[in-house]
Structures are given as C-alpha cells and as structure tokens.
Amino acid sequence: MIDPMMLERIQRAVRLISAARHIVAFTGAGISTPSGIPDFRSESNGLWKRYDPMRVASRSAFFNSPTVFFDWFRPLFVTSWQSHPNVAHQHLAILEENRYLKSVITQNIDGLHQKAGSKQVFELHGTALTFNCSSCRQSVRGENVFDQFSKGYPIPYCPNCANILKPNMVLFEEGLPQDTWEAAQVEAQKADLMLVIGSSLEVFPANTIPQIALRNGCKLVINNLSSTSLDSMADLCIPMNTVEFFPLLMQELSS
C-alpha cells in the first residue's frame, strides 16, 4: 500500500500537470536502469566505478585505441539495442500523445524514448544506436552494427569504405551536438512545468537545462530516488523509482 504522504505528493503532481500548458520532461539514467541499461555514475555499480572513462569512452580512446573502446562499447550497445522501454518511457509517450507533454530532453543514449513512441525527443548526449563512418561520414543504422557484432566482428566497419564506424554518442573530449543543445534550451525557456525523471542532475552542461527553466518561472517536479542539487528549488520532490511513480501518476491523472 502506498504511503499516504507519497500519494498526496503524486496528487499534487497531477494538479501541476493539469494546470500546465507547456510540459517538458528531462530524463536521466534512472528512467532506463529498470530496463537493464547500466548507469554511468551511481556510487554502487556505475560504469565509471569499473572503467576509467578517459581510457575507454573518450575521443582519444576511439581514435587511438579502437579495440579498447569497442571492448567497452560493444556490450553497452548490444544491451541498448535489445532492451525494451519500461512503463515510465511508455507513460511519457502517452502523456505526449494525450497532449500533456510537449517534449522529452534526455541525457540517455539508449533510444528507449523513441522505442516507446515519443516523437519529440532531444538527445543531449547523442545516441549509441546509429553510426557514422570515421572516414567517409556515411550514416549506418544500428542493425548493420548489431549484425557485425553478432557475427563476431570486434570492431564495426563501414560498408562503403571499410573504415571504422563511430557511434553518434557524445564522447569525453567532445561537445554536445549544437543544434540539439540549442533546441533543448529553447524548450526549457518555453516550459511552464518541467518533470525531472531519474536524473541526479550531476552532469554538466546538461544539468543546466532545469536551471534555465527555473529562471524563466517554470515549476519543477523531481522524481529521483536520490537527492539532487535542485531539490530545494523544486515545487515537488517525489523520491520513488520511476517505474513505481508513473503508474500511480497516470492512475491519478485519469481518475
């Protein structure tokens, strides 16, 4: 049975959603871990507790040590490729379909929002599911790379020129995709309600998006298991697992 205090917070979230005109979701790793996607920064089992990101996930690592890079990237890609959206992703897509939600701004690279049916998604850190050739720049779909990995190739190669394929994700030593970053800032400025879902708000500059929204008078609801740097500025904090929060939210929203 849900705690009465938590239920009251969810009901407050429903009232904020019902009153808003431009809702934007800002999502992080916590929305995708229930789908089996590893997170990067958690204290207990984050990927960066096991790997040095500059050694395995930097631009230098990709170009200078592609075998090391793909030994790290390959299982992450396969997991992301085979994973399925959970109820949190699905309910965000429903909120968009029902015209509550205008867009999703995500730090995740797993493509699960699109798999769930979300249409307006801004991927601040790119995606692990599509590739460009590092030489001829040809775009290559994830199916091609998954097929190469399935056949035992340790490194994916361009079908056009046979050079190494680079995933369209933001690596260490790289900046965010400029068009996406600018569009996300515009969305944050338009928002009158931002839902922060599964993000600890630690990663710069992505974590400035909710701050931009707040500076423009936006209300803020944070659904994250751990505390964040913006909890004191939020209108509402709901420390629940995202896959527990969303069914309760949708139930209250439809009642």
Neighbours of 58 (CB within 10 A): 18
User: Residue 155's domain spans which residues?
Assistant: 38-82+127-169
Task: Please say which residue of 113, 142, 169 terminates a domain.
Answer: 169
pLDDT at 255: 82
Q: Are residues 153 and 119 in the same domain?
A: no
For position 48, what pLDDT does the model report? 64
3-class SS of residue 26: strand
Are 78 and 142 found together in one domain?
yes
Rounded to whole angstroms, how far apart are CA atoms 70 and 169? 13
- Same domain as 112, residue 49: no
Which DSSP category does 83 fall into? -
| 138, 169, 200 - which closes a domain | 169
Residue 57 sits in the same domain as residue 104 = no
Among residues 244, 237, 187, the alpha carbon closest in space to that of 216 is found at 187
Question: Do 52 and 151 share a domain, yes or no?
Answer: yes
pLDDT for the residue numbered 99: 95
CB neighbour list of residue 155: distance below 8 Å, 6 or more residues apart: 66, 67, 70, 164
Count of domains forming the chain: 2
Q: Estimate to the nearest angstrom the gap between the alpha carbon of 245 and the chain centroid.
A: 17
Query: What pLDDT is attached to residue 156?
Result: 98
Q: Looking at the structure, do residues 208 and 147 belong to the same domain, yes or no?
A: no
pLDDT given at position 50: 77
| Residue 17 and residue 117 share a domain | yes
Query: What is the model's pLDDT at position 107?
Result: 98
Q: Are 184 and 229 found together in one domain? A: yes
The CATH number of whichever domain residue 181 belongs to comes to 3.40.50.1220
Are 133 and 120 in a shared domain?
Answer: no
**CATH code of residue 71:** 3.30.1600.10
On whether both 247 and 184 belong to a single domain, the answer is yes
Q: Are residue 135 and residue 236 in the same domain, yes or no?
A: no
pLDDT means per 10 residues, the chain with 255 residues, are 89 98 98 92 67 92 97 96 98 98 98 99 98 97 97 97 98 97 98 98 97 98 97 98 97 92
Domain end residue (candidates: 115, 142, 169): 169
Is 125 one of the catalytic residues? yes
Say yes or no: 211 and 246 in one domain. Answer: yes
